[in-house]
Structure 1
Amino acid sequence: MKPELLYLCYATALTGVLWVPYVLERVLTRGVISAVGYEEQPKPQSKWAQRLMKAHGNAVENLVVFATLILLANAMGVSNAIVATASMLYFWARLVHAVTYTLGIPWIRTLAFLTGFAAQAMVAVQLLLH
């Protein structure tokens, strides 16, 4: 498997499991019945769970762009060291983003987000130069 497809798989899997901790926290905080229902005034979740939910939403939004770029690169036969490196960079940046967002570490979170964006831009440039 090409490195960029492998890292797309990793990024997708990461994004796919980010919901688990905050949903488990919701069940522990509210109970099963309340967690799966639609209470008008549910108990608030902890701050870390609220931040992880936002990080998850951000990961989904960015995965749409990253996956599209990587799949386009694959379809166009654009596979080189820059695309592979950008893919690896994107995955690790998104992992750091999720962890630091959850822990409430703003500067590293922002740097990780910008690194992920730069990785997307690197792939986009390779496509446009092709």
Structure 2
Amino acid sequence: MTPELTYLAYSVVLLIAHVLVQATFSDLSKGIGWALGPRDEDREQNPLAERLQKALRNYLETYVAFVALALAVTVADAGNETTALGAAVWFWARVVYIPVYVSGVPLIRSVVFFVSLSGLGLMLIQLL
């Protein structure tokens, strides 16, 4: 399996873990009775759960591009050290992004986000 597809598989694991953690913190912050009930009324969640939700939304915003690039690089047989590095940079930056965002560190969060975008750029350059 190519490095890009390996990181694509890892990214699915990260997505599942992120969804489970975010949903758990969100439900716990709203109350277990509410979480197990019909959820007819909206409830506020605590700041930690809110940050996890925003981090997940941010992950999904770049995830589609990563999936498309990983598949395009593989199908086009355009994979090389640069695309493998791009996939690794995107993935590991996304792993780092979650705790950085949740901790509320503003500047580092933005830097990590742009590092993840640079990983996508490394992959894209090889396809153009």
Given the two structures, how large is their TM-score scaled by the length of structure 2? Answer: 0.90
The letter of the residue matching 2:49 is A
Q: Write the distance in 1 (CA, Å) between the matches of 2:27 and 2:55.
A: 19
Contact (CA 8 Å) 2:26, 2:50: kept in 1 or not?
no
The letter of the residue matching 2:87 is S
Deviation at 1:109, TM superposition (A): 0.9
Q: Is residue 2:42 matched to residue 1:38?
A: no
2:7 matched residue in structure 1: 7
The letter of the residue matching 2:64 is V
Q: Write the distance in 1 (CA, Å) between the matches of 2:101 and 2:72.
A: 29
3-state SS of paired residue (2:91): helix
Q: Write the distance in 1 (CA, Å) between the matches of 2:78 and 2:69.
A: 10
**Structure 2: runs of 5+ lacking an equivalent:** none
Q: Write the distance in 1 (CA, Å) between the matches of 2:31 and 2:10.
A: 32
Contact (CA 8 Å) 1:21, 1:49: kept in 2 or not?
no
User: Superposition RMSD on alpha carbons, in Å?
Assistant: 1.5
**Structure 1: runs of 5+ lacking an equivalent:** none
**What per-residue deviation string (whole Å, max 9, x for no partner) do you get for residues 59-106 of structure 1?**
112110011011001000011000011111111110111111111111
Q: Write the distance in 1 (CA, Å) between the matches of 2:119 and 2:91.
A: 9
Deviation at 1:41, TM superposition (A): 4.4
2:63 matched residue in structure 1: 63
Greater shift after overlay, 93-102 or 33-42? 33-42
Q: How many residues align?
A: 127
2:99 matched residue in structure 1: 99
Deviation at 1:32, TM superposition (A): 3.4
The equivalences for 1:102-121 within 5 A come to: 102-121=102-121
The letter of the residue matching 1:113 is F
Given the two structures, how large is their TM-score scaled by the length of structure 1? Answer: 0.89
Deviation at 1:35, TM superposition (A): 2.0
1:76 matched residue in structure 2: 76
Which stretches of structure 1, 4 residues or more, deviate above 4 A after TM superposition? none
Contact (CA 8 Å) 2:22, 2:52: kept in 1 or not?
yes
**What per-residue deviation string (whole Å, max 9, x for no partner) do you get for residues 23-71 of structure 1?**
22233233334125334342x2221110110110111121100110110
